[in-house]
């Protein structure tokens, strides 16, 4: 009961509850109860569109040792929706009996933060793309380019390079900013040629890299 996560365990196939700690009872709006309560419905507050997520996840547990991780949403008594991340595992007793053990964490604030961050990224992307020849965004943590680079003329710039997505940033940069393709008088161009160099520059306080280069075979000047 002192754990910050909800813990729920029940036997199979009779679904006798073995553990239902206080944090889990709060998540499911369950009353105080004695252990080994038969057939308590923990899904009664799962929002309808997520019931299939929970059901499908549990069906994937076929033998002791199998585990699944999934996120679902519960409707609280006050009408708000909580986001819950659950890790569920099938285990067995020495006599061969099976039971389900779930650890549940409330990630409502985290999910809301990630949603706001994504909305801000989209607004930022829209603002930057206005009037630009082309725009692209890359998560340097994963180091992958996952979206096409569409120019203002509606062309996919990656087709020019023969690159398909997803692709690693360094592979993309080797062509995009390679010495065989472009000419630049700026030393800063070297930062763009490596994911590690970009991250190192950011750690040094460089958040904006402003430079010009020329694409020789396209007679194109880029800022």
Write a three-state SS string for the chain: CCCCCEEEEEEECCCEEEEECHHHHHHCCCCCCCCCCECCCCCCCECHHHHHHHHHHHHCCCCCCCEEEEEEEEECCCCCEEEEEEEEEEEECCCCCEEEEEEEEECHHHHHHHHHHHHHHHHHHHHHHCCCCECCCCECCCCEECCCCEECCCCEHHHHHCCCCCEEHHHHHHHHCCCCCEECCCHHHHHHHCHHHHHHHHHCCCCCCCCCEEEHHHCEEEC
What mean pLDDT comes out for the span 176-198?
92
Q: What is the pLDDT of residue 91?
A: 96
Q: What is the pLDDT of residue 77?
A: 85
Q: For residue 117, is pLDDT > 90?
A: no
Q: What is the pLDDT of residue 155?
A: 86
Q: For residue 33, is pLDDT > 70?
A: no
Among positive and negative, which fits the CA dihedral 58, 60, 63, 64?
negative
| Low-confidence winner among 61-75, 92-106, 115-129 (lowest mean pLDDT) | 115-129
Q: What is the pLDDT of residue 90?
A: 95
Q: What is the pLDDT of residue 106?
A: 93
Average pLDDT, the chain: 87
Name the most confidently modeled range: 34-43, 49-58, 98-107: 98-107
Q: For residue 193, is pLDDT > 90?
A: yes
Task: Say if residue 73 is preceded by a cis peptide, omega within 30 of 0.
Answer: no
Q: What is the pLDDT of residue 141?
A: 87
Q: What is the pLDDT of residue 2?
A: 59
What mean pLDDT comes out for the span 56-80?
91
Q: What is the pLDDT of residue 127?
A: 72
Q: For residue 154, is pLDDT > 70?
A: yes
What mean pLDDT comes out for the span 200-220?
90
Inter-residue contact 17 to 36 (CB < 8 Å): yes
Instruction: Grade residue 152 by pLDDT with cuts at 50, 70 and 90.
Output: confident
Q: Is 22 exposed, middle or buried (0-12, 13-18, 19+ CB in 10 A)?
A: middle
- Is the pTM value of this prediction over 0.85? no
Specify the higher pLDDT residue, 107 or 44. 107
Dist. CA 167–CA 155, nearest whole Å: 18
What mean pLDDT comes out for the span 21-37?
76
What mean pLDDT comes out for the span 119-142?
81
């Amino acid at each position: 009961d002192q754990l910050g996560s909800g813990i729920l365990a029940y036997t199979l196939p009779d679904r006798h509850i073995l553990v239902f700690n206080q944090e889990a009872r709060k998540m499911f709006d369950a009353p105080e109860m004695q252990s080994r309560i038969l057939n308590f419905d923990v899904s009664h507050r799962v929002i309808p569109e997520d019931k299939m997520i929970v059901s499908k996840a549990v069906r994937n547990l076929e033998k002791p040792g199998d585990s699944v991780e999934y996120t679902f949403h519960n409707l609280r008594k006050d009408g708000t929706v909580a986001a819950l991340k659950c890790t569920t595992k099938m285990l067995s007793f020495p006599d061969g009996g099976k039971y389900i053990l779930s650890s549940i964490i409330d990630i409502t604030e985290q999910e809301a933060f990630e949603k706001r961050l994504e909305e801000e990224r989209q607004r930022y992307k829209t603002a930057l793309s206005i009037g630009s020849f082309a725009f692209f965004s890359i998560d340097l943590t994963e180091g992958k380019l996952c979206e096409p680079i569409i120019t203002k003329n509606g062309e996919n710039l990656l087709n020019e390079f023969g690159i398909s997505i997803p692709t690693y940033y360094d592979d993309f940069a080797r062509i995009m900013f390679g010495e065989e393709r472009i000419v630049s008088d700026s030393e800063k161009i070297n930062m763009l040629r490596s994911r590690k160099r970009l991250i190192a520059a950011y750690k040094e306080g460089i958040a904006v890299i402003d430079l010009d280069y020329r694409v020789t075979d396209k007679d194109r000047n880029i800022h």
